[in-house]
Amino acid sequence: MTRTWWKEAVIYQVYPRSFRDSDGDGIGDLKGIEEKLDYLKELGVDVIWLGPVYKSPNDDYGYDVSDYYEIMDEFGSMEDWTSLCSEIHRRGMKIMMDIILNHTSDEHAWFQASKTPGNNPYRDYYYWREGDSEPNNWESFFGGSAWKYDEEARAYYLHLFSVKQPDLNWSHDVLRREMYSMMRFWLDKGVDAFRLDAVNLLVKPGEWQDAELAEPDHCLAPCGHLIANGEGIHDIFQEMNNEVFSRYPMFTVAEMAGVSAEEGLLYTDSTRKELDSIIYFEHMDVDNGPGGRWETIPFSLPAFKQIITRWQLMLQGKGWIGLYLNNHDQPRVVSRWGNDSRYRVESAKMFATCIHMLQGSPYIYQGEEIGMTNIRFDSIQDYRDVETLNYYRIECENKGRSHEVVMRDIYLKSRDNARTPMQWDDSVYAGFGTVQPWIDVNPNYKEVNVEKALADPDSVLHYYRELIRLRKRYDVIVYGDYSPLLEEHSEVFAYRRTLNDETLLVVTNFSEREQMVDLGEPTSEPSLLLANYPPAEEPLTALRLRPFEARIYLAR
């Protein structure tokens, strides 16, 4: 067992726009994050992942970068960033930057320059295609065609995400070098880690063949399977590693939709010198129907367990993953697969237990640690996310579906579920700021907020602190081998972790009903390390699990 700092780390994701507004413009900012660093330190997290803070017209809230070397006006200045970075370091924490490589904003100087037809050094930074019609039938992740015609350029450009996010051409040597020096710029400023956005899409196929639209992939746009993990992608990461990552004491986590465990191993196998770890999507796609992510089918625990187990076993001893159930693109898991009314606290703690005890580095998305829930706005006017707004327009206006029916999908899956302001206290605007925020606060803020959670020893927040404390104390949580238990059970997820003479038993009830389970005769007397209910005296052979109950046992 070789100790690796980032394997031991817990990462906290800040969505800067919604974390804390310090200057009264309704938008979160860098100074606001700095104000809350003691809170994060006390929670026990090691790394703060900062969502994109670069200059951006905010079509996709920072994921459309118009200048990689400047800070977005709404968030503050480069001085504010430097101060935040040093305050994070002063508290013994580290900073992870979100790096967007697949596309820029259409307002980026490169894209503007690339429009001039003819002999132009920037033309091939993007995918421009001349002709009378779109080069193929590809659709974007955010709905509608993946091609847009530009009058000035007299050509179509490719955008896998919004029309304001043109895809960069990674086969272009000069462009790649530009990107490597941009990454070194941030590392030279003291950044400790990168979260690499959507990077398994970097390579596009040499031919622009049509996609099979009748069979959309569960999580990718209908063209996604033609693009994801394209030929030559590993060469790019080996080059990037050599040019950038290997020169710094840093770590990388790659966000990749449409990746199998086999492919995940290729990307993160430490001997291949590409990426350190991966955030995969397969387990989050179990409730997506054949029509894609807006079509919701019931959650299946057996399917979920199979995916988790496949990844755990595939990467064991070789690669590494980021563990998560929440982020800024996903609805809140307590509302999605738990029960956000009667069992909000129990189910939030249960999901946290299940995720934090697996092998990998756990990610906590802001507000998850207090059990924040999904949002339901009556009017589409109150939504802000480009993907959600496009979906509403296409479904209602183009396909003629009713407002009520489309809103049902949006309540379940909109990314805005996770983007409402952080709930700090029960004052007006939940302590996020002093004026109406850019997106409305969840009305449950009087009940669900940090101040209240700090004062309640049984809160979700105190439970997260315990989980993190356990991770720092028992190596088995970080380095132990994984083996599944009760594989056939449809309501209970249980597994074992082992390292030398330490064994951890984790048992989680994913249902609202009581479950009787037999974990087998223990080899030694197990002790209960943590549970989300008062302890019950039962042998491991006859556990009676209450709704959403979670327990962690240690045996030596």
Q: Are 465 and 474 in contact (CB under 8 A)?
A: no
Strand partners, 155: 150
Enumerate residues 6+ apart whose C-beta is below 8 A from 427: none
Count of residues touching ligand ISL (by CB under 6 A): 14
Complex with ligand ISL: residue 20 or 328, whichever CB lies closer: 328
Secondary structure (3-state) at 439: coil
Give me the least distance between CB of 15 and ligand ISL, in Å please: 9
How far is 396 from 172, CA to CA, in rounded Å?
40
Strand partners, 145: 139
b (16+ CB within 10 A) / e for 63-90: bbbbebeebbebbbeeebbeebbebbee
How far is 556 from 543, CA to CA, in rounded Å?
20
Footprint of ligand ISL on 280-309 (CB under 6 A): 293
Query: Using the rule CB under 6 A, which residue among 139, 329, 368, 395 binds ligand ISL?
Result: 329
Complex with ligand ISL: residue 293 or 497, whichever CB lies closer: 293
Complex with ligand ISL: residue 202 or 345, whichever CB lies closer: 202
Residue 167 interacting with ligand ISL (CB under 6 A): no
Strand-strand pairing, 502-509 and 11-14 = unpaired
Complex with ligand ISL: residue 138 or 141, whichever CB lies closer: 141
CA-atom Rg of the chain in angstroms: 23
Complex with ligand ISL: residue 147 or 479, whichever CB lies closer: 147
Residue 395 interacting with ligand ISL (CB under 6 A): no
Q: Are 201 and 165 in contact (CB under 8 A)?
A: no
Residue 257 interacting with ligand ISL (CB under 6 A): yes
How far is 168 from 189, CA to CA, in rounded Å?
25
Torsion sign across C-alpha atoms 149, 52, 219, 377: negative
Strand-strand pairing, 492-499 and 481-485 = antiparallel
Q: Are 19 and 419 in contact (CB under 8 A)?
A: no
Binding mask 173-212 for ligand ISL (x = CB under 6 A): ------------------------xx--------------
Query: Which position among 197, 282, 346, 368 bears the catalytic label?
Result: 197
Give me the least distance between CB of 415 and ligand ISL, in Å please: 6
Binding mask 48-77 for ligand ISL (x = CB under 6 A): ------------x--x--------------
Q: Which two structure tokens, joined as six digits, stand for 303?
A: 């399917």
Residue 141 interacting with ligand ISL (CB under 6 A): yes
Residue 387 interacting with ligand ISL (CB under 6 A): yes
Complex with ligand ISL: residue 282 or 329, whichever CB lies closer: 329
Residue 100 interacting with ligand ISL (CB under 6 A): yes
Enumerate residues 6+ apart whose C-beta is below 8 A from 359: 312, 315, 316, 321, 478, 479, 480, 481, 482, 497
Complex with ligand ISL: residue 328 or 336, whichever CB lies closer: 328
Instruction: For the chain, give the number of residues.
Output: 556
Query: Which position among 217, 255, 287, 549 bears the catalytic label?
Result: 255
Residue in the block written with tokens 């990844």: 311
Give me the least distance between CB of 311 and ligand ISL, in Å please: 17
Alpha helices, H only, 393-548: 403-413, 450-455, 460-473, 475-479
Residue 383 interacting with ligand ISL (CB under 6 A): no
Give me the least distance between CB of 103 and ligand ISL, in Å please: 7
Binding mask 458-497 for ligand ISL (x = CB under 6 A): ----------------------------------------
197 is known as an active-site residue: yes
How far is 482 from 358, CA to CA, in rounded Å?
7
Give me the least distance between CB of 41 and ligand ISL, in Å please: 26
Q: Are 179 and 245 in contact (CB under 8 A)?
A: no
Complex with ligand ISL: residue 106 or 466, whichever CB lies closer: 106
Give me the least distance between CB of 434 and ligand ISL, in Å please: 28
255 is known as an active-site residue: yes
Binding site for ligand ISL (CB under 6 A): 60, 63, 100, 141, 161, 197-198, 255, 257, 293, 328-329, 387, 415
Q: Which residues are catalytic?
A: 197, 255
